[in-house]
Amino acid sequence: MARWEPGAEERLREAALLLFDEQGFEKTTVAQIAERAGLNRRTFFHHFADKREVVFAGQETSDELIATAIRTQPEGVPPLPAAVAGLAHAADTLYEQYREGAVLLGRVIAASPELRERELVKRAALADTIAAALRARDTNEPAAAVAAWTAVAIFFVARNHWNQPGNNRTLADLMTATLENYLTTAEGRPGGVL
């Protein structure tokens, strides 16, 4: 007989998400999360660096995958389409599986300023990864940074659609459409609404 029930981390994550959804992130204490998971407050901090991390854990963006997906785009492809294509490829591999939990997750994050703040950090890290990959394709530094942030914006705009309860298009599909729409709209031509 095991001394501890297995899956402590998963239990903590689940308890946290439910409590955050019920009471809000700010009104939920780590002690409550631990108690619902049948664990000690101290144990929570052995699994997650802080209270916010429990929401984002498991969403490792796999920098390696994204970077190589961008680097291996055909040579002639300009930076922004290359970044979006690489990101879309990686997104299909990484994100498509989370589809069920994504709605709850999105609601919880949207409801809390502190969690939105942490998500921005993830965004920035993603942008840095993309920018580095673009520089490796000989894009100059300022353009790489700007294109990276544009690609990230496209990713999150697409993800917000993908998150919608009724949606059944793939994330990669939505990203391509968002890029298309952005480029045609930015040029001032009518049409192309996502």
Using CB under 7 A as the criterion, which residues of the chain lie in contact with DNA when the complex forms? 1-4, 8-9, 28-31, 34, 38-40, 42-43, 45-47, 49-52
Which of DNA, a second copy, none is residue 89 near (CB under 5 to 8 Å by kind)?
none
DSSP 84-153: HHHHHHHHHHHTGGGHHHHHHHHHHHHH-HHHHHHHHHHHHHHHHHHHHHHHHTT--HHHHHHHHHHHHH
Which of DNA, a second copy, none is residue 46 near (CB under 5 to 8 Å by kind)?
DNA
Phi, psi of 39 (to 5 degrees): -135, 175
- Rounded Cα distance between 16 and 24, Å, is 10
Nearest to 83 by CA among 145, 160, 157, 173: 145
Which of DNA, a second copy, none is residue 165 near (CB under 5 to 8 Å by kind)?
none
**1 vs 186 by CB, closer to a second copy:** 186
Cβ neighbour number for residue 132 with a 10 Å cutoff:
16
Cβ contact 83:70 at 8 Å? yes
Q: Closest approach of Cβ 136 to DNA, in Å?
A: 33
**18 vs 156 by CB, closer to a second copy:** 156
Residues that bind a second copy (CB under 8 A): 76-81, 116-118, 120-121, 123-124, 139-140, 142-150, 152-154, 157, 161, 178, 181-183, 185-188, 193-194
Q: Closest approach of Cβ 140 to a second copy, in Å?
A: 5
Q: Closest approach of Cβ 82 to a second copy, in Å?
A: 9
